[in-house]
C-alpha cells in the first residue's frame, strides 16, 4: 500500500452567529495537508487511511480529486 502526502483545498467556515454584512471579512479557503496510506484511487476521489494493519484500516478520509493541488508518493 502506497504512503502519500496530499495537499488540497477545503471550504472554510466562520462562527455560526449573526454578522453585519458591512463588517464581513474575506474568508479564504483552507489549505490542508494529509499524510497516510492510499487505500482507494478513483478518478473522482482519493481515500487515505491514517493507520493500517494486515486486515483493517482506521482514520479514513476521502478527498475529491478536484480539491487536490498536489499528491506525492512517499518512500516506504
CA distance 6 to 59: 15
**pTM given for the model:** 0.86
For the segment 2-60, what is each residue's pLDDT rounded down to a tens digit?
Answer: 999 999 999 998 778 898 999 988 889 999 999 999 999 999 999 999 999 999 999 99
pLDDT at 43: 98
How crowded is residue 59: how many other Cβ atoms within 10 Å of its Cβ? 11
Cell of 51: 493507520
Amino acid at each position: 500500500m502506497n504512503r502519500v502526502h496530499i495537499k488540497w483545498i477545503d471550504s472554510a467556515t466562520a462562527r455560526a452567529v449573526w454578522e453585519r454584512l458591512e463588517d464581513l471579512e474575506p474568508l479564504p479557503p483552507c489549505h490542508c495537508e494529509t499524510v497516510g496510506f492510499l487505500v482507494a484511487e478513483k478518478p473522482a476521489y482519493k481515500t487515505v487511511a491514517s493507520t493500517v494493519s494486515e486486515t483493517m484500516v482506521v482514520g479514513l478520509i476521502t478527498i475529491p480529486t478536484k480539491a487536490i493541488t498536489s499528491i506525492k508518493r512517499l518512500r516506504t
